[in-house]
Amino acid sequence: MEISIFKNPETTAKAFADHLCKKQHDVNRLNIGLSGGSTPKLLFEILVQKYSDKIDWSKLHFYWGDERCVPPTSGESTYGMTHEYLFQHLEIPEENIHRVLGENNPDKEAIRYSRLITENLPSINGLPQFDLIMLGLGEDGHTASIFPHQMELLTSKQICSVAEHPTSGQKRITLTGSVINNAKEVCFLVVGEAKAEKVNEIINITGHCELYPASYIKPTHGELIRFLDKAAAGKLQL
Ligand SMILES: O=C1O[C@H](COP(=O)(O)O)[C@@H](O)[C@H](O)[C@H]1O
């Protein structure tokens, strides 16, 4: 596991953008799973401003680690946010964008999206393998849409499942912990003081994945990199 700590959210997002830029240089295709929430917005802005002509966007195939079950036009849609901050500013072939159809029936969509991933990605250890999965960390320790006390979503051998937000009850589609841990590389992007306590807990408290779902994420054969800013790493005991 690698932990990289940067001065502020901008330098953290810039480091992640650099990492992505280097990775795409060496390959013909990069299957990447994106995260949602507010943290990726800054990364997307930096990618648009500083990397639009440094990255060969036709090599990148975009999927999502999780999505809310809402139409793409909803303010809560992760695809909608990604389109607003990233896609609409770049020349990305439409066939490279593999969005979760949040407007569909959640159970049927989890099956459809699982099938799509299986068809498009190589299978390693009996599960699809992403080249890179980007993850965030919720203040409650969740990652993707796997919230505390949802162990079955971590260990399930399915590819995607329907999840439910613990307080709002909003339905979501999420990759399972098994698929995330089968990736070649998983990168957490976490910034801000509000995440500091959980960052320390998910790294240092072991054996309590039901309380800290993000602590379950340890790629079986791949790399784990945590991009943190100083504030998010503020309570980290190493
Ligand atoms: O609900 C979600 O939250 C997490 C963290 O989001 P952030 O706003 O704190 O950056 C995110 O990683 C996940 O994809 C999203 O659905």
Answer yes or no: is 131 within a domain. yes
**Any atom of ligand 1 within 6 Å of the Cβ of 38:** yes
Answer yes or no: is 234 within a domain. no
Output the pLDDT for position 1: 86
In angstroms, the CA 219 to CA 55 distance is: 26
Q: What is the band of 230 on the pLDDT scale with cuts at 50, 70, 90? A: very high
**Any atom of ligand 1 within 6 Å of the Cβ of 66:** yes
Number of the ligand 1 atom closest to the C-alpha atom of 137 = 5
Name the residue of 82, 135, 142, 212 to mutate for ligand 1: max ligand atoms within 8 A of Cβ.
Answer: 142
In angstroms, the CA 190 to CA 142 distance is: 12
Output the pLDDT for position 81: 98
Answer yes or no: is 235 within a domain. no
Question: Number of folded domains in the chain?
Answer: 1
What is the model's pTM? 0.98
Q: What is the band of 238 on the pLDDT scale with cuts at 50, 70, 90? A: confident
Domain of residue 17, residue span: 2-229
Answer yes or no: is 61 within a domain. yes
Residue 135 has pLDDT above 90, yes or no: yes
Answer yes or no: is 238 within a domain. no
Output the pLDDT for position 145: 98
Output the pLDDT for position 214: 98
pLDDT digits (tens, 9 = 90+) for 73-97: 999 999 999 999 999 999 999 999 9
Tell me what ipTM this predicted complex has.
Answer: 0.98
Q: What stretch of H or E contains 48?
A: helix 40-51
